[in-house]
Chains A and B, each alone.
Chain A
Amino acid sequence: MAFTGLVLIFFLLMHMFGNLKVFVGQEAYNFYAGWLKAEVLYPILPHGWFIWIFRVFLLTCLVLHVYCMATLWAASLRGRGSSYVRTNRRQQTWSSKFMRWLGLTLATLLLLHLLMFTIGGVTFGAFEFVAHDPYSMFIGAFSQWWIVLIYAIFVGAVCMHVRHGFYSAFTTLGINVGPGARQTLNVLAYFVAGLLFAGFILPPLGVLLGMV
């Protein structure tokens, strides 16, 4: 859970950084996307191999993450027993309380995200799938306010999930050695979650407000 989660957080950070290229322009953005799909590690690997190795790796992480979640959820339902008439939590945050539901929300919206931008096959108003022109897809999708809204929910869920997940993953790996370390981890978790939210929401907002 912890290890795969951290891998996915690292991927999200890279993804978020890549998205910001949309502010540079169509050519730069499409070149970057093309490079990711075909050129990464080129002389070592043949054209287009890296992306598939990476996809398989990410998917494995995701599947393991979900598998751990399912077994832990089952254990937790058994461990919790019958529910209290009243519960008064002292520490639980919204993020940690809805961690699993946030994850399921993410998984659903991720599927939509992949259908829209990677696999193709869905059309929403001005948006349609255009192979090899992610920039046009980006503009087409996010010039519609309601897609930006759904995306904001998606990214909001990411932000909350990562906020607790980042801290929890490092705690599970044993780095939470004391109150000081816990505070540092929490501050870092808020920072990473905030960075992801800002980095992911800015490009679509830019498109919507006509700044791109």
Chain B
Amino acid sequence: MKITLKVWRQANKDAAGSMVTYQLDGVSENSSFLEMLDMLNEQLTSQNQEPVAFDYDCREGICGMCGIVINGSAHGRYESDVATTTCQLHMRSFRDGDVIEVEPWRTGAFPVVKDLVVDRSAFDRIIQAGGFISVNTGSAPEAHSTPAPKRQADRAFDVATCIGCGACVAACPNGAGMLFTSAKITHLANLPQGQPERRLRVKAMIAAHDENGFGGCQNVGECASVCPKEIPLESIAQLNRDLIASMFRGDGKSTD
């Protein structure tokens, strides 16, 4: 395959970036998108040019490190029904001679570090605000002492698959991190261990979400439609229900 790449190049977070065009020949349609970028970088290195910086780790869709906007769609999902991360996207999704535009996640909360690499530590700060449970450690409790109903356990697990890649924020017209935040809220709200701090958690996490420069949710649904882990949009409704409940319950009131 012969393709034309237009890649966002930005030297550092303060520099002005621009799209730079590269030609790439002999791309195998069986290579993944990241392998194609590796090819580009080898070509650039041999020409004594700076390679394109991009994030990746596991290359099997479970770590959440990779994430770029390909032809205007987060992780290059396009119209495809198949949820995908960038590393799981293969070049057979493109045609010979295609022009492919590659951009970093662009949102206020994730500043570009270099080229296609963004700083997603805003997500960490949301998790630090409440994405945990507090337990006194000691000897392991008896496994059956806190039963988790099957249905709730399944729902919790489905949203716990969030890998924090940031595609939801990248795709959101408002740059909101609601799907990410609600995935963690829904995960812990469906488990017995998450109950004691449930109402405080939702308030703290939403406060951290807003403080870290994310926008507000307009219920457009772009986030869930590009999510590689198919976190459902109704997670956001779970977050909203918990947030509303926290306003009318004693355990939703902060004590400090």
**Which A residues contact B (CB, under 8 angstroms)?**
72, 75-93, 96-97, 99, 164, 167-168, 171-179, 181-182
Contacts and interface: CB of A to CB of B under 8 A. Distances in A.
A199 B31 CA distance: 57
A88 B73 contact: yes
Contacts of B241: 174
Contacts, number: 126
Given A75-B174, A82-B106, A176 B234 contact: yes
Interface string B142-170: 00000000000000000000000000000
B115 interface: no
A75 B209 CA distance: 11
A73 B6 CA distance: 31
Given A171-B237, A174-B240, A179-B232, A80 B174 contact: yes
B210 to A, nearest CB: 7
A56 B144 CA distance: 58
Interface residues of B, number: 46
B237 A85 contact: no
B220 A91 contact: yes
B72 A88 contact: yes
A181 B8 CA distance: 40
B218 A96 contact: yes
Contact of B175 (A81, A167, A173): A81
9 contacts: A79-B175, A80-B106, A86-B101, A88-B72, A88-B73, A90-B226, A92-B222, A168-B218, A177-B234
A82 B238 CA distance: 30
Contacts of B79: 90
Contacts of A80: 106-108, 172-175, 215
A91 B213 contact: no
A84 B101 CA distance: 10
Interface string B84-128: 000000000000000001010011111000000000000000000
Contact of A88 (B78, B219, B221): B78
What 10 pairs between A and B have smallest CB-CB spacing? Answer: A79-B215, A79-B175, A88-B72, A174-B241, A86-B72, A76-B174, A91-B221, A76-B215, A81-B108, A168-B219
Contacts of A96: 218-220
Given A78-B213, A79-B108, A97-B173, A84 B72 contact: yes
Contacts of A93: 220
Given A79-B213, A81-B108, A97-B173, A90 B232 contact: no
Contacts of B213: 78-79
A111 B210 CA distance: 33
Q: Which of B8, B73, B173 has the most CB of A within 10 A?
A: B173
A164 B218 CA distance: 9
A93 B191 CA distance: 35
A78 B221 contact: no
A178 B110 CA distance: 30
Nearest to A80: B175
Contacts of A164: 219
Given A172-B240, A173-B244, A84 B103 contact: yes
A76 to B, nearest CB: 4
A92 B171 CA distance: 10
B216 interface: yes
